Amino acid sequence: MAVRTQGGRRIRIRGRGTAGAVLAVLLLAPACAAPRESPPGPTGRQVSAALDRRAAAVMAHDADAYLAGLDPRAASFRAAQRTELRNLVDVPLESWAYEVKDVTGEGGDRATAEVELRYRIKEYDRAPMSSSRTVELVRRGAGRTWYIAADRASDGSPGQLWEQGDVQVVRGTHSLVLGVGRRDAELRRIADTADTAVPSVADAWPETWAQRVVVLVPETVEDMAGLLGSPVASYRGIAAVTTGEVGGRGRSPADRVVVNPEAYGMLGDFGQRVVLTHETAHVATRGHTSAATPVWLSEGFADWTAYRHETRTAPEIAPELAEAVRAGDLPALLPVDEDFGFDEDATKLARAYEGAWLACELIARDWGEEELTAFYKAVGSRSGRDGAVEHAMQSVLGTTPQDFTVRWREYLRARLG
């Protein structure tokens, strides 16, 4: 599956006596193509059968059956796979299945399969989480049996938490926290914070959603980058990201909040609460977030949700933009998607988030919270970006982007000047 990313979750730690700016961008990946049948030919069918046996062994936690499907000559691979299966033992899986997309090596004794792994976590995933894998197989013995000789993330695809170590599981009322190499007390605190975030988001977003969240906590920022399939430099200083496929219609795809334990651990209670509430808002709104949704709206709504019941002042929450406004450097336009990139100047990035938050706060104040939700849904209901915001502003808010921008700039002066 080709993945297009639009950003990630950033937190800036400030030391000027202000609350600091919590900055975020939702990671959006296009939905997978419709499932295809297994490739034709005897090799494709035999590879599918071998992977079906592997999946059944995972669900049964049957180490003997799992190892029986591995190449008997690949000693190091077998040892690593035994450990990996053991790492999974506490994860509450509801399903685990493979779909073979392509097979090369038809007719020989070696084959390479491009595979989609789809799995669900019980009580949390309404739809499977997908992972593209490359599986190498060899055919051995008098029975010409196919054995798995290698299994890895496909090029450009993220790895899985259980590949990094033994997965610790902490259950909350509304959350499931899966960690590797972290203290149980730390994972419990994250679960408690997520349990506070979920009802807060449910109050702000009245549409139907699971009202549960899965949080992954790897051991290091390097491991976080591995789970996201991106360079580690992209995530230093980022407290968390939300990943998942763009929803739109039908059941919402599986989401994961991935925490950077280093940056998240530097935050106080306020920052941690804001981070997880923001990320949970992305989970809640996923089904109404589409390619038509501008980043300022998805990030602004998530921040509006996170700050909605906080008592900090606007200049405390938006210090960079407040400084600019007081200096007479008022932004001329709403932030564009590119303003939220990881590589942007930190001050420019902070101002983009802060301006997006205040745009959504303005809608909630002058039109109402129900209209803010309706506006978000109306934008996301479109298939493409062209005209989506313009149409929703007219149909829901009775205004135009030009008039809204004028009101937003006046609101920045009033709130931050």
Question: Residue 80, CB half-sphere, CA atoms under 13 Å: how many?
Answer: 12
pLDDT at 8 over 90: no
φ, ψ of residue 155 to 5 degrees: the values are -55, 130
DSSP 141-206: TTTTEEEEEEEEEPTT----GGGTSPPEEEE-SSEEEEESS--HHHHHHHHHHHHHHHHHHHHH--
Tell me: pLDDT of 12 over 90.
Answer: no
Q: What is the pLDDT of residue 43?
A: 85
197 vs 248 pLDDT, higher one = 197
The structure tokens listed for 162 are 């259980």
**Intrachain domains 9-30+164-416 and 42-157 with the same fold:** no
Mean pLDDT in residue range 29-39: 41
Q: What is the pLDDT of residues 99-111, one digit of tens each?
A: 999 999 877 899 9
pLDDT averaged over every residue in the chain: 89
CA distances, 220 to each of 8, 131, 182, 263 (Å): 17, 21, 9, 10
What CATH code would you report for 42-157? 3.10.450.50
pLDDT in tens, 227-241: 998 888 888 888 999
Tell me: pLDDT of 31 over 60: no
Asked if 372 and 360 count as a contact pair (C-beta separation under 8 A), the reply is: yes
278-310 pLDDT, tens digit each: 999 999 999 999 999 999 999 999 999 999 999
> What pLDDT, on a 0 to 100 scale, did the predictor assign at position 253?
60
Q: What is the DSSP string of 340-389?
A: G-TTS-HHHHHHHHHHHHHHHHHHHHHT-HHHHHHHHHHHHTSSSSTTHH
pLDDT digits (tens, 9 = 90+) for 341-393: 876 688 999 999 999 999 999 999 999 999 999 999 999 999 999 999 999 99
% of the chain residues with pLDDT over 70: 87
Domain ranges of the chain: 9-30+164-416, 42-157
Instruction: Report the candidate in 385, 380, 389 with the shortest Cα–Cα distance to residue 359.
Output: 389
Between 30 and 69, name the one with better pLDDT.
69
> 146 or 40: whose pLDDT is higher?
146
The pTM of this model reads 0.89
| Residue bearing the bigger pLDDT, 27 or 207 | 207
User: Is 90 exceeded by the pLDDT of residue 142?
Assistant: no
Of the ranges 129-143, 335-349, 394-408, which one carries the lowest mean pLDDT score? 335-349
H/E stretch holding 409: helix 401-416
Pick the CATH number of 9-30+164-416 from 1.10.3210.10, 3.40.50.1440, 1.10.390.10, 3.30.70.20: 1.10.390.10
Residue 15's pLDDT band (cuts 50, 70, 90): very low
What's the pLDDT at 282? 96
d(CA 322, CA 417): 7
Q: How confident is the model over 120-141, as a mean pLDDT?
A: 93
> pLDDT for 151-205, tens place per residue?
999 998 999 999 999 999 999 999 999 999 999 999 999 999 999 999 999 999 9
Lowest mean pLDDT among 39-53, 137-151, 254-268: 39-53
HSE (CB half, 13 Å, CA atoms) of 414?
A: 10
| Contact present, 127 and 287 (Cβ < 8 Å) | no
Sign of the CA dihedral with 305 first, then 306, 312, and 318 last: negative
pLDDT of residue 26 exceeding 80: no
Q: In terms of DSSP bridges, do strands 110-121 and 129-140 run parallel, antiparallel, or are they unpaired?
A: antiparallel
Contact between residue 380 and residue 291 where contact means Cβ atoms under 8 Å apart: no
pLDDT tens readout for residues 60-88? 999 999 999 999 999 999 999 999 999 99
With beta carbons less than 8 A apart as the criterion, state whether 392 and 379 touch. Answer: yes
Residue 414 above 70 pLDDT? yes
245 band by pLDDT with thresholds 50, 70 and 90: low
SS3 31: coil
